[in-house]
Structure 1
């Protein structure tokens, strides 16, 4: 599957589920951690697939890559998830060719995010591709595609207000607390998990609630202590989780554990608790969610919050789509030119052979550097003509004729 004829837009697929057709409990069944990701890539290699990557966030799980058919990718993904293929298919969307390309651009721009313009997706996309690249599952096509998507995302961020204002899942959590809790700065707040979403949530808590009455717990304790020191907060060990949960009035969960970290035994008979679960899958045990003293909010509920910032972002969508359209066109042109690489390589070899032919006596007196420059000029001119009008065979012959005529 390394041939340029297979690795073209028509054989590129994306299959996934997101917040539009599945709730957080279903999405949680298909969340992918790094161990599962690596296992899927190993299975892909066994099937002859070598350009694949997976994006798994609180809003979506998507698998991208070249395949003979979409269900080859779906089968790979579901082979490692808690959820089965039938459940996935009931909520899945499958895109192919240019539609799949357009989808990657929309995701990277935040147009497909649960909160419109949420820029956190850019970092998540980079990490997803970085992991695949480390496993040698990123080829020229994927590299160019993702770079184009990131370029598009940057242009949209710098030239529109699509990501303007302060709206994200982490900020929505703080907005919820401000609206629902009286005098929140006086409450004991516990934050579990200080990854990217956890860090952003923590900084928003400090900035918008104007409080440092926050305790951080993380699986890697040094990260919690580092952030606590930076912001003047408290840090505690995971071993003291039960004690800290007992003391907390507000608990925010931003972990990526495959199993619940907040259990029924942690929160029952311990006073009223507001728990905001930012994790997929849920990291609060179901039995704990239904206790009378627990009020639980998840990412889907937070994402329904609307304000003037979101209205402003909606007005910026046409500008963002115009930028995407231009970058997609450039990417399509690059893909088209890739088809001509074998011919251009063959032309380069033939030109070098002609230079060394006895008929061209000047070749013995011409500087090698000048020869290379001349050959490169012919190649560039031929590539330019191909870009204007696709006549590969004719242009190959024309290039040779032009070369011969200039040497006579």
Structure 2
């Protein structure tokens, strides 16, 4: 895979998110599990060896070490339907400390489309886990992600940034509430029971008090399991047309690469509210043109603001202060790690010095026979490490360490 570098100046993130691109554009650069696997298989040919890709409904980002940012973007786009030129025109990129800070902000939900959305943590874990299993996570990324997750946990525990119930799935519930004054007699069809689908189903039961819900999933057993848990109904995929016809509200959370709900399913079926929670879109775009069909996607849902979001915004300064502490801790580790080769060299030299016949003459009587050489060497190295963190004068510290050891 090539030599891994841990020079922070070679660490980049490049990506797109909801701030400058709509869902239609983001869908061109979304990465499925299959595409992620293909992307990693192509990485060696792009001379890349330490990286991971974060792809959600709100963003697609690639983090890693590279000679330049276009190297990472080229790899990402080689596995998507979009091209590198288009991507680079709309993408943002950050390098070194700024790239590290960006990952901390993303993981805490500060950069999420819905402020404080904590689902991003699980998505980061999965993205890094997949890269690690394929041997694309080295010591630097491993330590960085651990620090990032610790910071995110501290933000969640010590602030109200994720307080209340606000997510894309909950925003869908709010939208339904604002559209229907009375849900009596309304039937809901939920297609897809992955993580977002499960959350949406539970929110409908908990916050709308709805039970007239039918779940349809590619794997019927998963739909049956969630139906039993929540007290709603389920049906097989081959009954999709029947339940589309019956439904007043249809939510799609299937996360497929191609549309699951087609315009042909909805044509001539009367008034329907269709909410697409998927990226790429899993409802055929032309369905929005059908008479009686109202099609809403994740970007429109995320415009919903309420008191919960206002309270969360007030917590941002506190969350950022926590993040600064964790970034400082990581950068201290990084600075220390840079000095490891020098410290190892000094340790080797001091051990050689201890066994030299000249050592006894040089040390004189300053070191008693009962002193442990390894302990003294470690004390000298600890002092050297502290000074190296404070002052960038490796050569001077090298000489001082030898003098300290000889002097006892």
Give the TM-score normalised by structure 1: 0.93
SS of match in other structure, 2:214: strand
Q: 1:268 and 2:258 equivalent? A: no
Contact 1:50–1:137, Cα closer than 8 Å, also in 2: yes
The equivalent residue for 2:22 is 23
SS of match in other structure, 1:150: helix
The equivalent residue for 2:287 is 288
**Which piece of structure 1 moves more, 186-195 or 199-208?**
186-195
State the alpha-carbon separation in 1 of the partners of residues 46 and 89 from structure 2. 25
Deviation at 1:163, TM superposition (A): 1.1
The equivalent residue for 2:191 is 192
Contact 1:15–1:95, Cα closer than 8 Å, also in 2: yes
Deviations 1:67-122 (A, max 9, x none): 11110111111111111223212321111122211111111111111111111111
The equivalent residue for 2:73 is 74
Deviation at 1:340, TM superposition (A): 0.4
Deviation at 1:357, TM superposition (A): 3.5
State the alpha-carbon separation in 2 of the partners of residues 276 and 139 from structure 1. 40
State the alpha-carbon separation in 2 of the partners of residues 250 and 327 from structure 1. 44
Contact 1:8–1:335, Cα closer than 8 Å, also in 2: no
Deviation at 1:358, TM superposition (A): 4.6
Structure 1 residues 167, 405: CA separation in 2 closer, same or farther (over 3 Å shift)?
same
State the alpha-carbon separation in 1 of the partners of residues 3 and 328 from structure 2. 24
Contact 2:15–2:61, Cα closer than 8 Å, also in 1: yes
The equivalent residue for 1:401 is 403
The equivalent residue for 2:383 is 381
State the alpha-carbon separation in 1 of the partners of residues 221 and 329 from structure 2. 45
State the alpha-carbon separation in 2 of the partners of residues 273 and 279 from structure 1. 18
State the alpha-carbon separation in 2 of the partners of residues 203 and 72 from structure 1. 42
Deviations 1:147-198 (A, max 9, x none): 1111111111111111111111111001111111132253211111222211
**Which piece of structure 1 moves more, 323-332 or 106-115?**
323-332
The equivalent residue for 1:129 is 128
The equivalent residue for 1:157 is 156
Deviation at 1:33, TM superposition (A): 0.7
The equivalent residue for 1:144 is 143
State the alpha-carbon separation in 2 of the partners of residues 372 and 248 from structure 1. 76
The equivalent residue for 2:392 is 390
Deviations 1:351-405 (A, max 9, x none): 3323444556899x879xx544443333222211212222211212221221222
State the alpha-carbon separation in 1 of the partners of residues 352 and 224 from structure 2. 66
SS of match in other structure, 2:151: helix
State the alpha-carbon separation in 2 of the partners of residues 392 and 222 from structure 1. 62
After superposition, residues 308-319 of structure 1 pair within 5 angstroms as 308-319=307-318
The equivalent residue for 1:215 is 214
Q: 1:115 and 2:117 equivalent? A: no
Deviations 1:233-275 (A, max 9, x none): 2222222222222222111111110100001121112222111
Contact 2:275–2:296, Cα closer than 8 Å, also in 1: yes
The equivalent residue for 2:11 is 12
Give the TM-score normalised by structure 2: 0.93
Contact 1:263–1:284, Cα closer than 8 Å, also in 2: yes
After superposition, residues 239-250 of structure 1 pair within 5 angstroms as 239-250=238-249
Equivalences, count: 401
Indicate the RMSD between aligned Cα atoms, in angstroms.
2.0
SS of match in other structure, 2:35: helix
Contact 2:287–2:295, Cα closer than 8 Å, also in 1: no
Q: 1:96 and 2:90 equivalent? A: no
Contiguous gaps of at least 5 residues in structure 1: none
SS of match in other structure, 1:184: coil
SS of match in other structure, 2:254: coil
SS of match in other structure, 2:223: helix
Deviation at 1:350, TM superposition (A): 2.1
The equivalent residue for 1:277 is 276
The equivalent residue for 2:353 is 354
State the alpha-carbon separation in 2 of the partners of residues 373 and 213 from structure 1. 72
**Which piece of structure 1 moves more, 348-357 or 193-202?**
348-357
Q: 1:44 and 2:43 equivalent? A: yes
Contact 1:185–1:210, Cα closer than 8 Å, also in 2: no
SS of match in other structure, 2:259: coil
State the alpha-carbon separation in 1 of the partners of residues 31 and 265 from structure 2. 27
Contiguous gaps of at least 5 residues in structure 2: none
